[in-house]
Each structure stands twice: as structure tokens, then as C-alpha cells.
Amino acid sequence: MTQPLATGSTIGILGGGQLGRMLSVAASRLGFKTCIFEPGGDCPASHVANFHLQAEYTDEEALRRFAESVDVITYEFENIPTSALDILEKLRPIHPNREALRVSQDRLTEKTWLTDLGLKVAPFADVTDAETMAAAVQHIGTPSILKTRRFGYDGKGQARLKSPEDAAQALADMNGAPAVLEGFVDFTAEISVIAARSQDGQVTAFDPGENVHKSGILDTTTVPAKLPARFQTDAVLMAGRILNALDYVGVLGVEFFVTPQELIINEIAPRVHNSGHWTQNGCAIDQFEQHIRAVAGWPLGDGQRHSDVVMENLIGDDMDRVPELAADPNCALHLYGKAEAKPGRKMGHVNRIIRG
Amino acid sequence: MTQPLATGSTIGILGGGQLGRMLSVAASRLGFKTCIFEPGGDCPASHVANFHLQAEYTDEEALRRFAESVDVITYEFENIPTSALDILEKLRPIHPNREALRVSQDRLTEKTWLTDLGLKVAPFADVTDAETMAAAVQHIGTPSILKTRRFGYDGKGQARLKSPEDAAQALADMNGAPAVLEGFVDFTAEISVIAARSQDGQVTAFDPGENVHKSGILDTTTVPAKLPARFQTDAVLMAGRILNALDYVGVLGVEFFVTPQELIINEIAPRVHNSGHWTQNGCAIDQFEQHIRAVAGWPLGDGQRHSDVVMENLIGDDMDRVPELAADPNCALHLYGKAEAKPGRKMGHVNRIIRG
């Protein structure tokens, strides 16, 4: 039986962006303090956290000081340097665990791991040079997508191949980074499941959301997803299998391609996920509190949906629409307090509540 | 036309308790920073605010520094010293305004003001000494309640008179503080309305909640209140009249006694109110965000109720029930991060969602 973390304890969060910000707020609801580890100054999470330790991930002394000032550690992004984890995990528990990070930090590892678990992913092949690229194109065919194995997000580090002639340019676009060639999936929709697992092994999932991307970045998530009932169940069961196989603690995002025949896993993220922001206005307990509950060894909350929601990201100059959205009675705004609205930068999101 | 405060601006909040804490979180949702002015250290609001200026309300230099570091000022409690307001209002706008504070800081002023507005309050009489006490008892009769004119909250500064013989003891209990004798209202229920008014004069109200007190402290608020439809409308209209008469900006709490014949106003509070905490899990926009929107010159949000809720305060060793409440799928916890659970101290609240 897990001993739950007492209210008043401090939760350490690696990363000070909007996910860390909303995790901090959720932690405060349960009476926890938070300490943010983040190299950048005036970061979104620092505005709502007790402490902000501003240091690089290579600063071993700062990492030690951070770990010693908190009771448990979690994170808002999966690309935490291994060297930092080595230091932190000797001092405090880290949730989700190393295995979840190992699997999800690398597309090749992730796809291999998911395949070994018996789950379906798009056809894929390892690409390190012109020779493996040629073999991959022959094996996977075109259209296909070349993606860096590591550090890709929001469509960055990706190159599309319409025909085999695009291979050389796509490989050049990787700048020498190890990559994976993914077969094109002719999907009818993209969905995601935000699932959670507690320290006692309790598993729960929010209703699947239907995602629409624009220029590689999530644009909207609509809940409920238009999806056959069988697929809804399948998606949740697959997320549950992944959680159990990883002995996972916390919230996990799983993205799927929907085809007329089946669900194909696109990728997993060992953290709260942009496509789960709708839960803030659709459920009594949102994904952020669910994650904090799991990390703190608390029982999971009830993520039953009370409202239908369309979440829309506010990116760059979408911020110009804030006055209009603020006046819309169906809209709940969530802004991240970022100083400057750059193109492609996620500045906030709006949850539009669909009244019955 | 009001110019709305730009996201990224800083809202100054006087008072660092749980109301300031939840106001800070709401401000963060709209991209605002917050600065808390509070004499106490490690206060609940400081855990989720950008800045905490720890100083006394008599510290003129600190008050000036606070005002100059923020764009607009609001507060979580009505007993702000006049001398502090004199300094602050010269430097930055304060919402709600001085008139709202003047009226609500003093029970005698408040009851007189409400009566002059044509609203019904319990019979009352000014009490300053044995002579005025005798006259008041003769005029109001017993049972009745003697209350200090200022600084009363959660049943503090009150003495009940069952018969005229209790007058001397009740007067002694006031310790020389000016008081008001209030006639006893034979009520069937207590309700409150949480209403808001924007800088443009837009007025809105959340559904009335039904309150039950225990030992003079709010115990539960249930929404919807069991109340004839006519009274629901009356309560909201009265709250609106008060807001307009005060040229009020922000959220106002109005408590009513319900009798079979009519609604009688018990008191008003020029701030977010404990009996409005249910809105956090009952509405897309809660009372805290509504207040921040008003103070920031934004349009008000939609406070339509999506769920029925019973809010229960967690006081003192009610904190022992947290593990059980955390495991209850119908409960959303809101804890204040207070270090020590003393008897009578509000440590948190739980919103129990009533499923249809």
C-alpha cells in the first residue's frame, strides 16, 4: 500500500513551460507546494510556483539542490538529459519512471517497444545514412515521412517523401541526426487518449479526443471524438496496456491514427498532453490534477466528462483574438503568461463548451 | 468604453489567504501576474503568486512600492485600513471601490445604506453603551443578536440575547466596541447570491446557493438552493441593485435570510465569498475568474451552472478526512496549503458533484 504524499509537501517539476504551469496550479489545489527547475527566466510555470530554480540541466550542484528541496520529482517534457536523471533519481523518486523516458525519448525504441507489446504502429525503418535510407525507402515505399529519432515536436525534425526522388533531400534535412522512415498511414482521423495510472496500479482514462493539426502543430481537440464505440474501447485498452507494461505512474498521452479497419499508434508522450487540455473544462478532475495525484501516491480522481468541449490552441498572433474570445460566453480561456507572441509559439488555449 | 488590462499585466491583491490564493490562480488563467500584499509569511496566496510583498498595512513605503509594481489593485477582505487605501488609491485604481468598502466595513452603515436603498434587513439599533443598549433591547426585543459594528467574521464578535436579562453580559462581550443589536429573524433557510459587475456596467449572477452554518462558520453551500422561483429572481435582482447603486466593479457576495414571506438581507461582502466556492466545479467560469475579469476591465464570463454541487468547508481536523475524500469519485478537493490545522481554521473545501 502506497503512503500518499502529505499536503504541504513539495513537488519538483522539471521544465517551466505551460504544462509545468498548469501542473503547478493543480498541485496547489491539493495543498502541495511546487519547485520548478528551468533554465529560462520568467518562465510560465514560475508565475504560479513557490520556487523557481533557474539553472542548466548540466549544473550538477543545482540539480542536487533541487532534488533535496522537494519530496518527489516529475516533469513536463520527455527530453531530460540522462546525466540529469542519473543525479536526481539517486536523491528522490521520479515519476513517470526511467523506462517510460527511455522508451519515449527515441522514436525507433518507441516503435520497436510498442510492436513487441503487440500493438500496431505504422511501418518503420531505421535510417542513419544514404545506404540505410535507400533500404528504408525500398522497404517502406512512398509516400512516407522521415523523422529524427529524438527531440522532435510540433512537426519539427520531419521531412515528407512524396516519391523516392525526395530521399536525398529528406536525409539532408535531418542534418546527420539518426532518423526513422515511417510509412504513410491513410487515416480518416487522429485521436488521442489521456490515460493515468496510480502508484497502486489503478488505471483510468479520459474520453478520447479527436485532433486536427495545422502545419504540424495541434490546432483543435474535439470531445467526444466521432469514433465507433469499438474503437473508443480499443484506444483506452491499448493505453492501459502501455501503462501497465511500463509500470507507469502519472498521466500518459497516446496518439492514434484512425483507419476504417483499425487504430494505429502514432506516438506516446510520458506526460500531460496538449490534447488533454479540454479536461480543464470538461471534467471535475483534469489531466493536470490526475497527474499530480498519481505522482503524489494519491488515488486517481474521476475524469467523467460533464461537458462536450472543443479545445483550440492559441498560437502566435491568435492572441489578437483574445478580446473576442473573452467576450464569448461559451469560451474558457487559458493563457500562459508568455511575454512575446512569436509565430508557432503556443500562447494559450481556449476551451469552447458545446451546450447541449 | 473600458480599455481591458493586457495579459501579462500584474494584478495586486491585498491579503494572502485562501481567497487571494484562488484569485491568483484565476488571474494566471488569463495570463496575468499577481503580487500579494500580506504581513504574514508563507501565506496561502504566496504559493501561487509571482510576488509576495511581506509588510504591515501601516508600512507606507511598502504600500507605495506595492502599488507601483502592479497595474490594478483588488483585495480579498474588506477590513483594509483607511490609511492604507489613502496611499494606494493615489497610485493605482482599486476595485471594488472605496464606497463599497465604506458601506460594508461597518454593520450599522451597511444596514442603514441597504434600508435607504429600499431593501429589507433585520430590525437593528445602534449600541454604544448601557443606555443605548437598554433602548435597543426595548425597541428590537429578544431573542436578538448583538454584533460588533466592525471586524466580525465567522461568528466572531457576536453575542446572543435570549431574554432582556442577557443584555449586560452581551454588552460586556463587545469589550467596548461599537455594536448593533439585530432582531432575530425566524428564517427557514439562508441563501447567498454571488453577483458580479464589470467596468462597463454588465451585471451577472451565479445561481443562489443554500448555506448551512455550524458554530457560526459556513459549513455547506448547496446548489441549486431549494427556493421558490420567485425568490431566486428576487435575490438576483436585489444583488444587481446593490451593485449598480455602488457603481461596483468585481464580485459581491450577498447573504439572505429566507422567510416564508420574503428575503431579508443579512450582510454583503465586497469580494469573492466562501459560499461561491461551488462555482469552481459547477461553472466554466468561477467566481474568482469573474472577479479578475471585472477588475481587469474584461467582459464577464458565463457563470451558467453545468453541475449541481454541495460545497463543504474543511475546518481544523476535517483535514483528517482528506484521504477518504480524495478517493471519492464525486469529490473535487481544494486545499489551501496552510501549515497547521487549528480548530476553526478553514483548511480547504470539497465540492461534491451531484450526478443526475
The mean pLDDT of A193-211, rounded to a whole number, is 97
Over the stretch A156-171, which tens digit does the pLDDT of each residue have?
789 999 999 999 999 9
B307 CA: distance to closest CA in chain A (Å): 8
Tell me: is residue A37 an annotated ligand-binding position: no
Over the stretch A105-117, which tens digit does the pLDDT of each residue have?
999 999 999 999 9
The mean pLDDT of A276-290, rounded to a whole number, is 97
A348–B31 CB contact, under 8 Å: yes
Residue B304's Cβ-count burial label (10 Å; 0-12, 13-18, 19+) is middle
Percent of chain A with pLDDT over 90: 94
Of A25, A299, A337, Cβ closest to residue B8: A337
- Class of CATH domain A189-354: alpha beta
CB-CB neighbors (< 8 A) of A49 in chain B:
48
Percent of chain B with pLDDT over 70: 98
Is A330 in CB contact (< 8 Å) with chain B? Answer: yes
A252 CA: distance to closest CA in chain B (Å): 20
Over the stretch B153-184, which tens digit does the pLDDT of each residue have?
666 789 999 999 999 999 999 988 999 999 99
Over the stretch B24-59, which tens digit does the pLDDT of each residue have?
999 999 999 999 999 999 999 999 999 999 999 999
Taking the C-alpha atoms of residue B268 and residue B251, their distance in angstroms, rounded to an integer, is: 11
A326–B299 CB contact, under 8 Å: yes
> Tell me, what's the pLDDT at B157?
84
A320 CA: distance to closest CA in chain B (Å): 11
Of B28, B293, B339, Cβ closest to residue A8: B339
Over the stretch A28-47, which tens digit does the pLDDT of each residue have?
999 999 999 999 999 999 99
* Residue pairs between chains A and B whose CB atoms are closer than 8 Å: 103
B332–A285 CB contact, under 8 Å: yes
Please, what's the largest Cα pairwise distance for chain A?
60
Is B288 in CB contact (< 8 Å) with chain A? Answer: no
Please, what's the largest Cα pairwise distance for chain B?
60
B33–A47 CB contact, under 8 Å: yes
State yes or no: pLDDT of A3 exceeds 90. Answer: no
The mean pLDDT of B81-107, rounded to a whole number, is 96
Omega within 30 of 0 (cis) for the link into B178:
no
Is B176 in CB contact (< 8 Å) with chain A? Answer: no
CB-CB neighbors (< 8 A) of A322 in chain B:
7
The mean pLDDT of A142-150, rounded to a whole number, is 94
Tell me the three cell numbers of residue A97. Answer: 519512471
Residue B223 pLDDT class (50, 70, 90 cuts): very high
Q: Does domain B10-94 have CATH number 3.90.400.10?
A: no
Is A7 in CB contact (< 8 Å) with chain B? Answer: yes
A39 CA: distance to closest CA in chain B (Å): 17
- Is it true that A10-94 and A189-354 share their CATH fold? no
Q: Which of residues 334-353 of A touch B (CB under 8 A)?
A: 334-337, 339, 348, 351, 353
The mean pLDDT of B308-336, rounded to a whole number, is 97
Residue B2 pLDDT class (50, 70, 90 cuts): low
Residue B3 pLDDT class (50, 70, 90 cuts): confident
Of A50, A306, A330, Cβ closest to residue B307: A306
Contact B351/B328 with Cβ under 8 angstroms?
Answer: no
Of B29, B47, B304, Cβ closest to residue A50: B47
Tell me: is residue A226 an annotated ligand-binding position: no
Query: Can you tell me the ipTM of this complex?
Result: 0.94
**Of B200, B233, B224, which is closest to residue B300 (Cα–Cα)?**
B200
The mean pLDDT of B274-280, rounded to a whole number, is 98
Is B2 in CB contact (< 8 Å) with chain A? Answer: no
Q: Of the ranges A62-66, A171-175, B293-297, which one carries the lowest mean pLDDT score?
A: A171-175
Is B298 in CB contact (< 8 Å) with chain A? Answer: yes
The mean pLDDT of A235-239, rounded to a whole number, is 97
Is A130 in CB contact (< 8 Å) with chain B? Answer: no
- Residue ranges of the domains in chain A? 10-94, 123-183, 189-354
CB-CB neighbors (< 8 A) of A302 in chain B:
329-330
Strands of the sheet with A144-148, listed across from one edge: A124-127, A179-183, A144-148, A158-161
Q: C-alpha angle with apex A89: A199 to A66, nearest 5 degrees?
A: 105
Of the residues B25, B48, B71, the best mutation for testing chain A's interface (the one with the most A CB atoms within 10 Å of its CB) is B48
B322–A7 CB contact, under 8 Å: yes
> Tell me, what's the pLDDT at A216?
86
Chain mean pLDDT for chain A:
95
Bridge partners of residue B144, in order along the sequence:
B161, B183
Residue B19 pLDDT class (50, 70, 90 cuts): very high
> Tell me, what's the pLDDT at A2?
65
Homologous superfamily of B123-183: ATP-grasp fold, A domain (3.30.1490.20)
